[in-house]
Amino acid sequence: MTSRLDGPLKVTGQAKYGADNNFPGMVYGYVVLSTIAHGEIEDMDVTAAKSAPGVLGVYTPFDPLELRKPSSPVFGETWVPLQDREVTYYGQPIGFVVAGTFEQARDAALLIEVTYHARPALTSLPDGLASAEPAPSNEDITVLADDVESIEDALGASPVVVEATYRTATQNHAAMEPHSAVAVWDAGGLTVYSGNQGSDLQAGELAVALGLEGSSVRALNPFVGGAFGGKARTSAPAFLAAAVAKALGRPVKAALTREQVFTATATRAATVQKISLGADAGGTLIALRHDSWCSTPADRSFVEPTSHGTSREWYATQNLSISQQIVPLNIPPTTYMRAPGEAPGSFALESAIDELAVALNMDPIELRLRNNSIAPPGKDLQWSSKHLDECFQLGAERFGWANRSPRGRADGDWLVGMGVATAMFPALRFPATVEITLHEDDTAVVATSGSDPGTGLLTVLALVGAESLAIPADRITPKLGDSALPSGGMSGGSTGTASAGSAVMIAATEVIDALLALTSSPGAPFEGAELSYEDGRVLAEDGRVMTFGEVLRAVGRSSISATGSSAPGEELTKHSFSSFGAQFCEVRVHKWTRETRLSRMLGVFDCGRIINEKAARSQAIGGMIWGVSAALHEALEIEESGRLANADFAGYLVPVNADIPDVDVHFVKYPDTLHNAVGAKGLGEIGAVGMAAAVANAVYNATSIRVRHIPITIEDLL
Ligand code: MOS
C-alpha cells in the first residue's frame, strides 16, 4: 500500500488548483446567468455595468465573444456560451463581466438589466413523460428464446412476476473545487489552468472554440478538486476566460460561485424506470423487461442509459427487453456522473430483484447467484473473468448475513434491517500514450497528459513505472496534467489505470530497448555485446554490469526517452469485460421518528489486479458513500419556474461524517490479463453502483415498507 504522492501537498494547502494561479495584470470575470427557464433574450442593458468601477468588458449575446462549438468523438458537440439569445434553462450563462477585481465584476453584473420574451417552460419529468422520445444512441434491444413470440408472452408464461416503477432524483456533482479557470494569452498562444478530466482534451476543445492551432493552446491541471464526470467537458468559465484573455491580452480568472455550479455546469438526469421480472418458482429468471425514461436538456445532448447500463448485461435470462427514452426539459444540462446509467439503473434493477426474492420467499443472494451470467444475454462473448459469486460468499461471511431475518429485527426503538445488491461496471480502457525518460542520476520520469481528478492515477503511474522498470518507486517521478505531455486521454469511465498502465508497460519496454541499443553502440561501454536489463541495470554476457545512469554518464548523455502507446484492440472480439461487486448494508430506522441511519456497509469487489490497495479502497469507499447519499440525501429540487430550490450546500444534502459509519471494503484479486497487460479492471465508479438499492432493500427489511424512489425520506416511512 502506497500513500498517494500528491497527498501531503493537498492536505497542507500547497497543491495549486486552477484558480490558485495568479499573474501580474490579471483581471477577473463573473458569469451572468439567466433568470427564466425558456425564451429569448430581447435586450440586455449593460450601460450601468459598463461604467461601473473597474469594469473592462461586458460580453453578452449582443456583444459576444466569438466561440465555436467544439465537437469530438468522445463527447459530440460541446455547448459554448453567449453565441445566441435563446435561453433553454434557468441559470444558463448569458453574460460575462470582466473587471479589475472579482467584487467589481460581480457588482457590475448585478447592474445588467435583462429583458426576456419568455415562453412556456417544461421543467418536470413527470409532466414531460407524455412527450418522451426514443434515446438517439440507445436502441431498444429484445432477446427472445426460440419458441417465444414476445416479451409480454414470456412474462405472461412466468409463474412468478414482479412489476414496479422506480424513480431517481436529479443530482449535482458538487465537487469541492468549483469550475474555474485562469487563462493567459502571450506570444506563445494560450495557457489555461483549469481543473478538468483530461488536459489534452481540454486543450483541444479550447483550440477549436477559439479557432487556434492545437499547438498554441496548453492546458494545465496538475490538481483537480473532484470531477466525477462533471469536469469531462470544458466549462463555461474556461471558454469565457480563454476568449477574454485573447481579446484583452491580459490574464483572466473566472470561477463559478457554489450556487452557480448547480446550474452553469451540468447534473445527473432524473429517471423513471419500469421493470418487470418473470421467474419460475425456483427463482430462475424467465423474462426481464426494463423501460427507462431520463430527463435531458432541450438540446437532447445527453442520455442517462439506465436500461442499457444494467439490465442489458447483468443477469442470465432467455428473454430480455430494454428500452430507453429521453424527456427533453428546460433544465440545466445533464451529463456523465460517476457510473452514468449504472448508478440510478441499479437502484431500479436491484430493488426489483429484491422484490422478486420476497415474492419467492428466497434469500436475495441465492436468487442473484442462481441467475449469475457467464456472458451478457444474447451475446456470444463470455466474461473474461468473473468472481461475483465469490464476492457474495465472502461478503455474506464478513457481514454476518446469516444473522439476517427476512423481517428484520428490533433493537430497542430501532428497526434494524440488512440489504444487499449487485454492482457491475464495464471494464473499459481508452487509447493512451506515455513517455518514460531515464536520467543520468538513475531516476526516471513517467509522463502522460491526462489528469488525476483525485483518483490516485499519479501514484499508479509511479507504481506501474517502478514495476515495469524494476526499480524502486521512489526513483520515479510521475507527471500528469499537462496537455504538452503525450496524450493520456480522459480520466473517465474508470479507465485510468488500465489505459495509462498498459501504455507505461509498453513505454518501459521501448525505453529499455533504446537503452540496450545505446549501451552496445559503437564507442559505448559495452560496444557490440549481447545485453540484458535487470533491476535498473544493464548486464553484459561476460558479467559486466552498469546502472542506466552510469551508462548515460559514460556516453555523455543526461537522459534517454521513449514513448509507448496502447489502445483497446482484438480482445474486444473475444470476451466481454466487466468489474463486479457485492454491496451490503445495515440500516436502523427509528420506530417513532422514522429517521433512517446507516449502521454498517461492506463492498466486496472483483476489479482485477489492485495496483494500490489504499487508493483503491478510497475509491470504493467514496463511491459507496455516494450510493448512500443518493439513497438518503441527494436531490436537486427543480421548481416549476425552472429555478433550483436548493442550489447550495444548505439545501442540497450530502452526507457528513456523522451520517457514515464504518465502511468495510474487500477486493478479490484476480488479475484480468485478457483485458489488458496490467490486469487491472476499473474501480472508480463501481462503488457507487448498487449501494442505493442495498440501502432501500435494508429499509424494506427493517420496516416492510418498499420505497421505490430515492432519496428515501422520513415521510416515505411514516
Ligand atoms: Mo466519469 S462519470 O467516468 O467521468
Whether residues 444 and 548 fall in one domain: yes
pTM of the model: 0.97
The answer to whether residues 180 and 256 touch, using CB atoms and an 8 Å cutoff, is yes
Residue to mutate (ligand 1; options 336, 342, 430, 451; most atoms within 8 A of CB):
336
Q: How far is the CA of 340 from the centre of ligand 1 (A)?
A: 7
Determine whether the shortest distance from the Cβ of 492 to ligand 1 is under 6 A: yes
Determine whether the shortest distance from the Cβ of 337 to ligand 1 is under 6 A: yes
- pLDDT at residue 9, rounded to an integer: 96
550 occurs within a structural domain: yes
Torsion of CA 653, 655, 658, 660, to 10 degrees: 150
- Omega within 30 of 0 (cis) for the link into 711: yes
Residue 418: which of 434, 431, 405 has the closest Cα? 405
672 occurs within a structural domain: yes
Residue to mutate (ligand 1; options 171, 334, 338, 689; most atoms within 8 A of CB):
338
Whether residues 511 and 550 fall in one domain: yes
Whether residues 661 and 701 fall in one domain: yes
Task: Select from 514, 543, 567 the last residue of a domain.
Answer: 567
> Using CA positions, which residue lies closest to atom 4 of ligand 1?
229
> Average pLDDT in the 597-618 region?
97
Whether residues 546 and 472 fall in one domain: yes
Task: Select from 567, 585, 620 the last residue of a domain.
Answer: 567
594 occurs within a structural domain: yes
Residues in CB range of 543: below 8 A, 6 or more apart: none
Summary mean pLDDT of the chain: 97
559 occurs within a structural domain: yes
Residue to mutate (ligand 1; options 196, 228, 490; most atoms within 8 A of CB):
228
- pLDDT at residue 75, rounded to an integer: 80
282-298 b/e (C-beta count within 10 Å ≥ 16 → b) = ebebbbbbbbbbbbbbb
Residues in CB range of 307: below 8 A, 6 or more apart: 138, 273, 290, 291, 292, 322, 323, 324, 345
Q: Which residues pair with 665 in a beta bridge?
A: 603
Per-residue pLDDT tens digits for 239-256: 999 999 999 999 999 999
Whether residues 464 and 557 fall in one domain: yes
> Average pLDDT in the 199-211 region?
96
- pLDDT at residue 234, rounded to an integer: 96
Interface confidence (ipTM) of the complex = 0.97
Determine whether the shortest distance from the Cβ of 683 to ligand 1 is under 6 A: no
For the annotated catalytic residues, the residue numbers are: 685
Determine whether the shortest distance from the Cβ of 309 to ligand 1 is under 6 A: no
97 occurs within a structural domain: no
Residues in CB range of 531: below 8 A, 6 or more apart: 516, 519, 520, 538, 539, 540, 541
378 is written with which cell numbers?
444474447
Per-residue pLDDT tens digits for 175-186: 999 999 999 999
Q: How far is the CA of 663 from the centre of ligand 1 (A)?
A: 23
Residues in CB range of 350: below 8 A, 6 or more apart: 421, 422, 690, 693, 694, 697
Whether residues 534 and 644 fall in one domain: no
Which atom of ligand 1 lies at the shortest distance from residue 495's CA?
3
Q: How far is the CA of 639 from the centre of ligand 1 (A)?
A: 27
Q: How far is the CA of 491 from the centre of ligand 1 (A)?
A: 7
Q: How far is the CA of 182 from the centre of ligand 1 (A)?
A: 24
Q: How far is the CA of 230 from the centre of ligand 1 (A)?
A: 8
φ, ψ for residue 621 (rounded to 5)?
-60, -45
Determine whether the shortest distance from the Cβ of 341 to ligand 1 is under 6 A: no
11 occurs within a structural domain: no
464 occurs within a structural domain: yes
Please count the structural domains in the chain.
2
283 is written with which cell numbers?
427463482
Per-residue pLDDT tens digits for 88-125: 999 999 999 999 999 999 999 999 999 999 999 999 99
Whether residues 579 and 690 fall in one domain: yes
656 occurs within a structural domain: yes
Determine whether the shortest distance from the Cβ of 338 to ligand 1 is under 6 A: yes
Task: Select from 567, 588, 619 the last residue of a domain.
Answer: 567
- pLDDT at residue 73, rounded to an integer: 78
Whether residues 442 and 563 fall in one domain: yes
What residue has cell string 559514460? 554
Whether residues 578 and 680 fall in one domain: yes
| Beta-strand relationship, 271-279 and 432-439 | unpaired
Whether residues 631 and 607 fall in one domain: yes
Rounded to 5°, angle at Cα 495 from 491 and 501: 100
Helix (H) / strand (E) element for 113: namely: strand 113-118
Q: Please report, as a single letter, which amino acid is at residue 451.
A: S
CATH code of the domain containing 422:
3.30.365.10
Whether residues 708 and 579 fall in one domain: yes
- pLDDT at residue 663, rounded to an integer: 97
- pLDDT at residue 172, rounded to an integer: 98
Per-residue pLDDT tens digits for 516-546: 999 999 999 999 999 999 999 999 999 999 9
Confidence of residue 263 (pLDDT cuts 50, 70, 90): very high
Q: How far is the CA of 490 from the centre of ligand 1 (A)?
A: 9
The residue segments making up the domain with residue 706 are 362-371+380-428+573-717
Confidence of residue 74 (pLDDT cuts 50, 70, 90): confident
- pLDDT at residue 72, rounded to an integer: 81
Q: Collapsing DSSP states into helix, strand and coil, what is residue 644?
A: strand
The answer to whether residues 619 and 684 touch, using CB atoms and an 8 Å cutoff, is yes
Per-residue pLDDT tens digits for 392-413: 999 999 999 999 999 999 999 9
Whether residues 498 and 633 fall in one domain: no
Determine whether the shortest distance from the Cβ of 4 to ligand 1 is under 6 A: no
- C-alpha distances in Å from residue 114, one per residue of 49, 93, 236, 265, 459: 12, 13, 20, 21, 49
Which atom of ligand 1 lies at the shortest distance from residue 230's CA?
4
For the cut 90, the answer to whether the pLDDT of residue 466 exceeds it is yes
Determine whether the shortest distance from the Cβ of 173 to ligand 1 is under 6 A: no
Determine whether the shortest distance from the Cβ of 229 to ligand 1 is under 6 A: yes
